[in-house]
Amino acid sequence: MSDQRTPQDHAELFSRYSWVRKRHRLDERRRRFMRVPWAGGAVLMLCVAAAMLLANLPSTAMYYEHVLSTDLSLLIESPDHVVDLVFPRDMNVEKLINDGLMVIFFFVVGLEIKREIVCGELSTARKAILPVMAAAGGMLAPALIYLAFNHGTPAAHGWGIPTATDIAFAIGILSLMGDRVPVSLKIFLTALAVVDDLGAILVIAVFYGGAVKWGFLFLALAIMAGLYGLNRLGETRISYFLIPAFVVWGLFYYSGIHATLSGVAMAMIIPMRPRYSKPYFFRQLRNFTRSLERVREEDERFPDAEQRYYLQRMKDLSYNSIGMSYRLEDLLAPYVTFIIMPIFALANAGVRIDLEYLDIFRYSSEGGAVGMGIFLGLLVGKPLGILLTSWAAVKSGLAEMPGGVSWRMLLAVACLGGIGFTMSIFVDALAFDEEFFVNQGKIAILLGSLASALLGALLIRATMPAVKN
């Protein structure tokens, strides 16, 4: 049969084929970029720059503030205007990001903490003691430095701001160093950052919550206790846990405890145990494989209807042989890294450049020195606290130095602990109500994190020769 298509038809088909190939190439490049450890940090930095521009350009500053302050509450009025119901209370775009979207960020952080405690670098006392003590020192020293400048002033409440480490940026900087950093040191920094996140969560829960409304809190705890019971009974269906999670978030939101902590609390309840055991998985896999092999081989179509059935069963078998906690972490991590955290940066890093905000080393008896406390807490306090407590743990015999690591190497990596960024900005927004303190705190966080990243990178290059891990 001759081809009846015209040259125009062939040109159109070729154009469509070329477009499909270009789309596949772009998708592959996007996937490769998302797998690079420093990609999340690069996207965050772009969003920080965009937020600064939006907040300072005369043509966009007003719209930027207007969008963030847009009210999203639903008002329900009765006919006689006796009862008015507002839900959610005081909700605007900025609060939706900080109290809503960031719940998912904290949920993933909680899953990571749980994984490390159950089967990772924090699963035994011998493994955990060094990163735990290092993280504790890395939180205590910055807090003391901050209080040294701000004790007795209205800004003293911000001591928790320089105590946090941004794990995404810290690991991203390490990845840029290539094979210079020993694997043992990368594991140490990762475990330290996980413990640091747990410490920051506890600081937020204890020191930066509002007045607690115990009725809402007890109801949330009762729901979580029921979900924990389901976990213990072996329930592994995801809907039984995620649907109540929205209710728990709402109860935390109204209880006075910061709503994002509901994400961490729910992460600790999510089952890690898979639905199918190892023996069951391999037994069923062998059965499905034999069934596939019995399908008639003379038919060249693959897969046919019968084969599709067995392949689908094998897919379901594999899916349910991975614990819910791992599945959720893998599913949500890219969205947190490339959507939620950049949106958070866009909403919170937009600081209006003002001379009084840029003068972070200014001290006054009325306002203290917010900028100085945060900047020096991150740049000096973090590495100093990590190094001194690690030295004490090793010299006392409680812990062992990571293999192939010197104290100079440990100091270089400890400097990366001063990259506060996401968590520090989050605490900054909770610690202060005054615009001056909030904005000067953000400027100090950005400058302190940048200085810590540069210092850590320079020390790594100076102290660590290129080695094969």
Q: What is the DSSP letter of 401?
A: P
347-360: per-residue pLDDT in tens?
Answer: 988 887 776 666 66
pLDDT on residue 226: 95
Angle of CA points 404, 408, 413, to nearest 5°: 85
pLDDT on residue 20: 61
402-435: per-residue pLDDT in tens?
Answer: 878 889 989 998 999 999 888 899 999 889 988 8
| Residue 53 φ/ψ, nearest 5 degrees | -65, -45
- The proportion of the chain whose per-residue pLDDT surpasses 70, expressed as a percent, equals 86
Residue 225's pLDDT band (cuts 50, 70, 90): very high
158-190: per-residue pLDDT in tens?
Answer: 999 999 888 778 877 877 776 777 888 888 888
Residue corresponding to tokens 């500053």 = 61
Angle of CA points 101, 107, 112, to nearest 5°: 135
What is the rounded CA–CA span in Å between residue 371 and residue 368? 9
Is the confidence at residue 284, as pLDDT, over 50? yes
What is the rounded CA–CA span in Å between residue 6 and residue 26? 30
Is the confidence at residue 49, as pLDDT, over 80? yes
What stretch of H or E contains 87? Answer: strand 84-87
Residue 445's pLDDT band (cuts 50, 70, 90): very high
249-277: per-residue pLDDT in tens?
Answer: 989 988 888 888 899 899 999 998 888 88
Q: Which CATH architecture has domain 39-209+258-274+322-463?
A: Up-down Bundle (1.20)
Question: CA nearest 332: which of 101, 95, 148, 73?
Answer: 101
What stretch of H or E contains 77? Answer: strand 74-77
pLDDT on residue 11: 59
Residue 85's pLDDT band (cuts 50, 70, 90): low
- Mean pLDDT for the chain? 84
pLDDT on residue 468: 47
Q: What does pTM read for this prediction?
A: 0.81
* Average pLDDT estimate for 45-72: 90
Q: How is residue 32 written in tokens?
A: 């490769």
What is the rounded CA–CA span in Å between residue 285 and residue 291? 10
Question: CA nearest 453: which of 391, 405, 388, 382?
Answer: 382
* Average pLDDT estimate for 368-387: 92
Is the confidence at residue 469, as pLDDT, over 50? no
pLDDT on residue 1: 47
Longest dimension (CA), the chain: 93
Q: Which of 17-21, 36-40, 94-98 has the lowest mean pLDDT?
A: 17-21
